[in-house]
Amino acid sequence: MASVSVILLSVLFAALVYRLFANLRSKRSSPPLPPGPPKWPILGNLPQLGPRPHQAMAAMARKYGPLLHLRFGVADVVVAASGSVAEQFLKVHDTNFLSRPPNTGAKLVAYNYQDMVNAPYGPRWRLKRKITTVHLFSSKALEDYRHVRQEEVALLITGLAKAGSSAIKVGQLLNLCITNALGRVMLGYRVFGDGSGKSDPKADEFKSMVVEAMVVGGAFNIGDFVPALDWLDLQGLVARMKKVHKRLDAFLTRIIDEHKVNVGEGGQNNLLSTLLSLKEDGDGDGDGEDGKLTNIEIKALFLNMFVAGTDTSASTVEWAITEFIRNPKVLARLQEELDSVVGRDRLVSEQDLPQLTYLQAVVKELFRLHPPTPLAIPRMAAESCEINGYHIPKGATALINVWAIGRDPAEWTDPLEFKPERFLPGGEKAHVDLKGNDFELIPFGGGRRICAGLIMGLRTVQLLTASVAHSFNWDLPAGQDPEKLSTDEAFGLTLQRAEPLLVHPRPRLAQHVYQV
């Protein structure tokens, strides 16, 4: 018996030794995780993000390299901070990073992942993408509604011209213009205002809702990464998410109910009528194969359109005016081009845009320095993979730091300077476009989940930027130095100015142009 026991113990010991050496060999042959800063106990790197995570992560990348590994509580997070690394996630390994990691914002604000932006990759996502692409973002739809965008921009220009000596918060009027243009396409009528182009209290309230949704949606909720602390809501984010969802849901419910009573000036030719025609009976889950939507999915899609489609463009054009004030030579050169192509007797039209080479360079530079979304919507690794010699674990959250990529000194000469000339023929980046093909400039993301509204967003920003540059010179309130105009940022899903821009618009075109 003793000899049998010795044999069994020997076999067990040999098996343990073999397993130990096998594990050691596995570890030696397995690629390491990407480098990153030291982690705190329990919270990992969360305390190191600060109020502007995109900037904090950019600083980490300068020290540890353009592919970072961070720990947010129990979650692995990998961050791409260069165009070449972003290409690995969005092109080479795109099929592995098509879904979103679970997060409280998408659950509480975006109708439990039933929108298009946060929906898991699959039949329902493809259905929503197809519907919006065909009915809102196709070339035909963009052309059909070109007059709507131009009419709303004309109302904006008229309203700005009537400001007189008063300093205005230009971002609010930009938001009103874009929201009403979207409203006419999606609903058949203006959502806010009387059509005068003036500010509207309800529109200001709507903008505050959208900004709040963007702020809480972009925040890193500790409860998502340390589940044991979720119930405490340490940052108060869950309470804020529930509150803003309730406000947005009331807004969406009201406009859908009003649509049933009065379809407005656009008749049945609008997106909501189309979506309602595709509505399922009841609120079943559906499988996406029958082309039907639920009531909740319709509201979730509208949430995406109104939230993602308004403040992103408005904030970008507000940054444009900021840069015009800080760089008067850029504004003068752009105005010279606009006067040559458009003249001073009419407003800019979308048909002018292809002829405005310098304008297109200005817009690219805006998106480089002030990307609408500083951190692209997170993605999740379906399986483990290897990128640039490093191990990316299954389930890891992938973040693309669009803000850092646009300021990467390895890609851009004088990256902190506003220099549209870099995109002109003969410039260092003359070949670069904004459509997800050149990964050093990806304000709309890339791969299969690239922003569905890319073309509309780009056209809206181009038209508005051209219009505010062509129609006005811009002054700060008395006593403020243009060279000291703040460019401080407020972090959220969109890149807001920390403080709204307060300006005096001075008309520069023929007087009749401002009369609509």
Q: Which of 217, 212, 205 is nearest to 176 (CA)?
A: 205
Structure tokens at 59: 């600083």
Structure tokens at 123: 């039949």
User: Which amino acid is it at 192?
Assistant: F
How far are the Cα atoms of 2, 40, 333, 372 from residue 350, in angstroms, in the given order? 93, 52, 20, 21
Q: Across the strands, what pairs with 375?
A: 401
Residue 299 in contact with residue 183, Cβ under 8 Å? no
Q: Within 10 Å of residue 449's Cβ, how many Cβ atoms?
A: 22
User: Which amino acid is it at 347?
Assistant: L
Give strand ranges (E) for 48-169.
67-72, 75-80, 168-169
Could you give the 3-state DSSP secondary structure of residue 484? helix
Q: Within 10 Å of residue 215's Cβ, how many Cβ atoms?
A: 18
Is 451 part of any known ligand binding site?
yes
The angle at the Cα of 82, spanning 78 to 85, to the nearest 5 degrees, equals 60
Residue 369 in contact with residue 354, Cβ under 8 Å? no
Residue 128 in contact with residue 308, Cβ under 8 Å? no
- Distance (Å, whole) CA 352 – CA 41: 57
User: Which amino acid is it at 208?
Assistant: S
Number of H helices, E strands in the chain: 18, 11
- Distance (Å, whole) CA 289 – CA 429: 43
Q: State the binding site for heme.
A: 451
Q: State the binding site.
A: 451
